[in-house]
Amino acid sequence: MNKAKNLSLLGNGQQARGNRQQGIGNREYIGKKVFLLAMRCTQKKDVVFLIKKNLKTININL
C-alpha cells in the first residue's frame, strides 16, 4: 500500500510539472476548469455569472 501511495504522489508531481512546462499557470488552469464547468450550464446568463464570479482578470467573450 505504501508503494502505491508513493507512486500516486509521484504521478501528481509530474502532472504539475508538465502543466508548468506548457506554460499553464495556476490561474489559467483554474480558469480553464471553471470555463469548462460553466459551459455545461444551459442558460447563457448563468455562464456569464460564473465567469464573472471566478475569473475577474480573464476576459472571455461569449
User: pLDDT tens across 16-62, in order?
Assistant: 555 555 555 566 666 677 667 766 665 566 666 666 666 555 555 54
| Residue 36, pLDDT score | 72
Domain boundaries, the chain: 25-62
Contact 48, 62 (CB under 8 A): yes
Q: Could you tell me the pTM of the whole model? A: 0.25
Let me know if 2 is exposed, middle or buried by CB neighbors in 10 A (0-12, 13-18, 19+): exposed
Helices (H) and strands (E) in the chain, counts: 3, 0
Grid cell for residue 33? 476548469
When comparing pLDDT for 38 and 4, which is higher?
38
| Residue 19, pLDDT score | 52
